[in-house]
Structure 1
């Protein structure tokens, strides 16, 4: 009994001592070796482990394991897991991580470019990284670390040698972009576009515009630089409602500061771009990207690069060198087909753009394989039906729809399968050869299983 009394007195003492730790004190510990981990499977010796919680996990229970694997400190929010002085007890681990990232941002005096949008934000982020890296030590969000956990982790990965950072911001509810801006404090920003995605959380297309527009609100309030796709009526409307002070416009009409023209998209994109102020200097760049919808993402990277002082040759070199990965507008040549692998994500806007692109491409034979879009809310049925109807005007040898949402709109002029496994069996029984194939779906459809058949 006496042992337990001493134990709880010791824990109480640790709690008292650690609860008085300020964010500045925690930051000083982070600066000793600025490595952060939230997963015991990826512990880097000397890191600080943040024991986050989720609906199905509680990393507090793995604090001891993190220390055993080499973590220098662990941050927990349950007193029972405070083992010794290496454990920092806070009221909420996630808030502590976010506060640490927010404080770290105040110590950085560099341009931070915030990117959000319904479609294309990851591709644009990668293009920006490729371009800006031609001159600057550039950091860009890794993978899809773009939410309330990912953005803090991204910011804490920005070190003192970084000269410019590109931070991707995702959202599926109101006020999320505002919250992420409060952490990342972008000095520059752009919204790639707005469309029908995450409608369960946003409620409507107007809800999407309101949520994404929180980036514009931040830039206006903090006198930041906005890069605007000047031909997009929705983005123009959103900017006009706020009157951001400093705006750099890019697009395909002569009213923009940087004007582009799509030269070829069959299947890889070649574009020209020029500064409106220098009409005689036209720059041509051939890329490894497919999809005419990516032309504006290429222009966005050129606009940011030019604004930050890069030469046209540096910009073009970055654009040419960028190779898409992770099944985002990626052209994959298999033994028998050419596949436009674009099944990392999907929504009504990106699906329509992908169909426009496959219709534009010159190919002897085309195949369309679409999978369900997730998080479409009450508009799911209508939006899936629209896509089925849209394919009717596209010439293709086979049109294949996969998933329960599409299956509800089946008709005799196409193939419909309720599951990816059923579609895979159909492709095994009736293989596709010699075709240019659009393969697009939400990530949850696991379309990589279909790639094996193509």
Structure 2
């Protein structure tokens, strides 16, 4: 079946789905495959539950459909068909697409920018972390038809990931929040990481489109090398931090100050990105500041939690890499407080050959910043249990029991770690 014909069926449907546990009536089921699952086996079930069609790439799925064989669409590759459909629909929509990638701050920047652009335009953005080769197409296919600006978060963990996402979404402009030490296992080196992120700017540059970058990031010169249409959104050009109380208060270009709901000095870069791009698209200054100051983070990112026993928790446990951890620790150390400070830090995953060095560097930084109450969780940190004067636990359950026994009261607490550690679970035992 031609993609334009499939698109007609899509427009007449209630969208697409890939999970038979979340079927919406009259949707189109795409039988995706992975290491541990094969959607072709569930095509018949999807039709029974109310899907109008099922897209499969194995003939036996047709045989298993019994009376629903006319509703089965056989293709060479289901994933590629999903991506081609999304690419076709992206052009059908006519929305302006903003591509956004980076090592840290992608989701917070996306949400801030969405809040800003919504002050003037009908705007839609990647829900949750739907930022890979499956999530991005699904985002495009669920975008409301009246959307004027579509913000697409682009994740990568190996070369050509960003290039592939650009070819599907054809962004009109792009943002790289920063470059840090993330997914080195997949990239092989920092050079590979920079090159992978730069795929966004390379794609845009070839088409004469605008690239927004963080001019204070140490890799910015490499990112914009050979790229003509660039705009620096860093704080050296616009907003600056006035104070942290513990939330960021920033000073504007006209010397006004604004209170946010964001913690961590590193978030000023995310604020500036939303501010500069808002101005680029002619959103009124007062509306930009209104959007930024009313935005409240969620999903374990830069969240502030106060407990019944007076503990103040800074929860930033959605993910972690050496760069984001360094920024979080430095910001936490600079927070003025009479309360006792505690750091609960989980392993940084997917670092490959640099893992041991970076975990040791993080421990040295903790020592240098003079943190006394430090709890390290995970096997990577546990290797250094005899080298540093902190509390090490190879299993999270032991660390949670330790935290519970501390009976913390009126403490200032930082919780951070890679997603696999689920450090947010400590909030259940901190009174």
Instruction: Tell me the TM-score range normalised by the shorter chain.
Output: over 0.9
- Give the counterpart of 2:105 among 107, 120, 142: 120
Aligned to 2:428: 452
C-alpha displacement of 1:181: 0.5
Aligned to 2:361: 386
C-alpha displacement of 1:136: 1.2
Distance 2:267 2:15 in 1: 35
Q: 1:160 to 1:412 in 2, by over 3 A?
A: closer
Q: Secondary structure at the match of 2:271?
A: helix
Q: Secondary structure at the match of 1:340?
A: strand
Aligned to 1:166: 151
State whether structure 2 residue 128 is matched by structure 1 residue 155: no
Q: For residues 91-127 of structure 1, what are the alpha-carbon distances to aligned partners after superposition, in whole Å with 9 as ceiling and x for unaligned?
A: 1100000000011112232221110000000110011
C-alpha displacement of 1:308: 0.9
Contact 2:363 2:388 in 1 (8 A): no
- Give the counterpart of 1:221 among 175, 193, 206: 206
Contact 1:173 1:202 in 2 (8 A): yes
C-alpha displacement of 1:273: 3.0
Rg larger in 1 or in 2? 1
User: Structure 2: which 5+ residue stretches go unaligned?
Assistant: none
Aligned to 1:69: 49
Aligned to 1:441: 417
Q: Any residues of structure 2 matched to 1:320-339 within 5 Å, and which? A: 320-336=293-309, 337-339=311-313
- Give the counterpart of 2:245 among 252, 262, 266: 266
Aligned to 1:358: 332
Q: For residues 219-262 of structure 1, what are the alpha-carbon distances to aligned partners after superposition, in whole Å with 9 as ceiling and x for unaligned?
A: 101221111222223123320x2223x22222232xx4xx1211
C-alpha displacement of 1:283: 4.6
Q: Secondary structure at the match of 2:349?
A: coil
Report the TM-score when normalising by structure 2: 0.95
Higher deviation after alignment, 89-98 or 360-369: 360-369
User: Structure 1: which 5+ residue stretches go unaligned?
Assistant: 1-20, 275-280
Distance 1:441 1:131 in 2: 29
- Give the counterpart of 1:342 among 316, 323, 333: 316
Runs of at least 4 residues of structure 1 off by over 6 A? Answer: none
Q: Secondary structure at the match of 2:36?
A: coil
- Aligned residue-pair number: 422
Aligned to 1:15: none
Contact 2:202 2:227 in 1 (8 A): no
State whether structure 2 residue 90 is matched by structure 1 residue 90: no
Q: Secondary structure at the match of 1:46?
A: coil
C-alpha displacement of 1:285: 2.5
Contact 2:204 2:211 in 1 (8 A): yes
Q: Secondary structure at the match of 2:70?
A: coil
Q: Secondary structure at the match of 1:233?
A: coil
Aligned to 1:284: 257
- Give the counterpart of 1:204 among 175, 189, 203: 189
Q: 1:284 to 1:236 in 2, by over 3 A?
A: farther
Aligned to 2:343: 368
Distance 2:226 2:388 in 1: 49
